[in-house]
Amino acid sequence: METEEVMDIFFLINLEVTRIMKEITKIRDFLDKEYFYLKCKTAFQTCITNKDNDYLQAEIDVPINQLDLRHNSINLSFNQELEDNFIIDIKIILFSNVLNKELGYYQYQEDMNGEFVDEFLVFY
C-alpha cells in the first residue's frame, strides 16, 4: 500500500470514530437526563406518600397517585452563597389525563454532590 492510500484509510477511520463518539455522547447525555428525571419522580413519590402530606390530595380533583409525571426542565443554578458550587434543579409537570390539563409541577433541587437541597410542590 502506498502512503497516500494509508492516509486515506486513516482519514476514513478517523471520521467514523468521530461519528461514533458523537453518538455515544448523545446516549450519555440522554441517560444523564433520565437519571435526574427518575430521581425527581422518586422524590415526588416520597413526598406524596409521606403521612404528613396526606392533606395534598384535597388540593386537586383527581387521585394524586394517578398524575402523569412529564419531563419539563433540568437547570444548573450558580448561587453566590455557594461559591464555586451549583444547584441542579429538576422540574416535572403534574398532568391529569382524566381532566386533560396540567395541574401543577414538582421541582427537586440537589447540590453538585447529589445531596438534597429543596423541593417544591405547586398546584394551580
106 exposure class (CB count in 10 Å sphere: 0-12, 13-18, 19+): buried
Q: How is residue 100 annotated by DSSP?
A: T
Q: Could you tell me the pTM of the whole model?
A: 0.76
Q: Kindly tell me if the per-residue pLDDT of 54 is higher than 80.
A: yes
| pLDDT per position as a tens digit, 61-70 | 999 999 999 9
Q: Encode 38-67: b = buried (16+ Cβ within 10 Å), e = exposed.
A: ebbbebbeebbeeeeeeeeeeebeeebeeb
Contacts (Cβ under 8 Å, ≥6 apart) of 62: 96, 98, 99, 103
Predicted local confidence at residue 83, as pLDDT? 63
Top-confidence residue, 13 or 118? 118
Mean of pLDDT over the chain: 89
How many other C-beta atoms can be found within 10 angstroms of the C-beta atom of residue 74? 15
Task: Say which residues have a Cβ less than 8 Å from residue 45's Cβ, sequence separation at least 6.
Answer: none
Mean pLDDT computed over 115-119: 94
Other CB atoms within a 10 A radius of the CB of residue 124 amount to 10
Per-residue pLDDT band for 48 (boundaries 50, 70, 90) equals: very high
In this prediction, residue 111 carries a pLDDT of 87
Contact between 83 and 61 under an 8 Å Cβ cutoff? The reply is no
Residue 72: per-residue pLDDT: 97
How does pLDDT run across 79-114, given as a tens digit for each residue? 666 566 788 999 999 999 999 999 999 999 998 888
Q: pLDDT for 12-43, tens place per residue?
A: 888 888 888 888 777 777 678 899 999 999 99
- Greater confidence, 4 or 58? 58
